[in-house]
A = this chain, B = another copy of it.
Amino acid sequence: MQNVDCIIRADYLLTMEGDLPVIKDGAVAVSGSAIVDAGTFADVSRNYSSKKILDGKDRVVFPGLINTHTHAAMVYFRGLADDLPLMEWLQNHIWPAEGKWMNEEFVSDAVELACLEMLKAGVTTYSDMYFFQNAAGKKLEKIGMRGVLGAGVIDFPFTGYAKSPDDYFVNAENLINNWKNSELVFPCIAPHAVYTCGPDNYKRANVLSEKYNVPVHTHLAETQFEVAECLNRYGKTPVEYFESIGLLTERLSAAHCVWLTDNEIELLAKRRVGVSHCIESNLKLASGFAPVAKMLKAGVKVSLGTDGAASNNDLSILGEMSTAAKVHKAFSGDPAAVDSKTTLLMATRNGAEIMGLGDKAGSIKAGKKADLVIANLSQPHLTPIYDIYSHMTYCLRPSDIETVMVNGKFVVENGKLTTMDEQEILDKARAWQKKIKG
């Protein structure tokens, strides 16, 4: 009988391993930052003992949700400008706001709010594309959340961050070196998009990615505008262009992928590119409907992202799951498409694997890090229960999330953040709100 730090019991345990079983009266044994064992409570309690055993009545335990594409600090622009044509939204609202406010202090403060919102909604890891990521990394360590922080790259200078392409890469390499011993912060390189980054910067990002074995996180084929722009500049669609400059590798995490031909879908599958599907952002900005059912059928690894809160307007992966599972049924004309198991798989294991964290997160398995979520099922909107996967995708809400563990540490208990003061984070956000739009 081995002693462990805690045993988390649950009426329903979803490990997201193997053929995605439902383990009734399951349990997870955790010691330090890691999962020691998972299975039925009968089996786990036969081999492990602990002073701390969490009761699992009316509870479901699942791997922490993974948000594979966001710009966390943009949470301070949530609802700043909505229901506008895309270019008006970008040029008259979002870019001026970013130009005026985005600096290290802004990112450092805003990331707190984003992490608070995500952790309370059961998101334990996010993959980000932004600037000043050292500041974000410090906050992740403080709040206790896992993040893949992409150092943004664009062709033009950005006051206070980078005067030249060289500066972006120096910043990125520094970021990678700064956090190489962190258990929570995983830097990567994030060239923005084909319409803001030329081939030199993309190739350079790819070299850096290979050198340090970190992902390349970028936007790809998000809008028809982007496809037209790319055809105009390079005579190729974005995917064809990426293929031609060697970007399509297993290290590529491509956000959106809305406008793809069937051949391009096959190519993404063949090259083992990871796709971050951001359904709510794509809908709200009228970017279009990504061919997710086709991508899944072709074997493309698809995960879920919220995009920034300025275009969503929240950071809830449960929301993305529900929306994606429903929309792709209508879009593909098949009510069996993107079923509830597949949806949860996209939100967990697929996400971890795409971000290079497949050995650490995304499922509940001995040896992986303990990133776990406990949700309370005794709610009217979750009653009755016939199929727990269906409830995970179509019914579960962020407010049902009770307990969240990241890297073996309880960061949310009884729905409250344990590591920082929630009210202080909200107050700080409101002070910024007054500055941004008094």
Contact = CB atoms under 8 A, between A and B. Distances in A.
Contacts of A85: 334-336
User: Which 10 pairs of residues, A with B, have the shortest CB-CB distance?
Assistant: A399-B399, A384-B433, A283-B326, A83-B339, A313-B394, A286-B335, A117-B380, A79-B390, A283-B330, A286-B329
Contacts of A162: none
A397 B394 contact: no
Contacts of A330: 282-284, 286-289
A79 B120 contact: no
Contacts of A280: 326
Given A79-B390, A323-B323, A384 B429 contact: yes
Contacts of A316: 381
Contacts of A432: 384
Contact of A117 (B81, B381, B425): B381
Contacts of A322: 319
B336 A78 contact: no
Contacts of A197: none
A383 B430 contact: yes
A285 interface: yes
A209 interface: no
A333 interface: yes
Interface in A318-365: 319, 322-323, 325-327, 329-330, 332-337, 339-340
B380 A335 contact: no
A336 B83 contact: yes
A312 interface: yes
Nearest to A76: B384
Nearest to A387: B79
Nearest to A428: B383
A24 interface: no
A94 interface: no
A206 to B, nearest CB: 31
Contacts of A121: 381
Interface in A384-438: 384-387, 390-391, 394-395, 397-399, 422, 425-426, 429-430, 432-433, 436-437
Contacts of A289: 330
A86 interface: yes
Task: Kindly name the residue among A113, A323, A327, A383 whose own CB sees the greatest number of chain B CB atoms within 10 A.
Answer: A383
A23 interface: no
A392 to B, nearest CB: 10
Given A80-B387, A117-B381, 18 more contacts: A79-B385, A82-B390, A83-B339, A83-B390, A282-B330, A283-B326, A284-B325, A284-B394, A285-B329, A286-B329, A286-B332, A286-B334, A286-B337, A288-B330, A313-B390, A378-B426, A384-B430, A386-B433
A116 interface: yes
Contacts of A81: 386
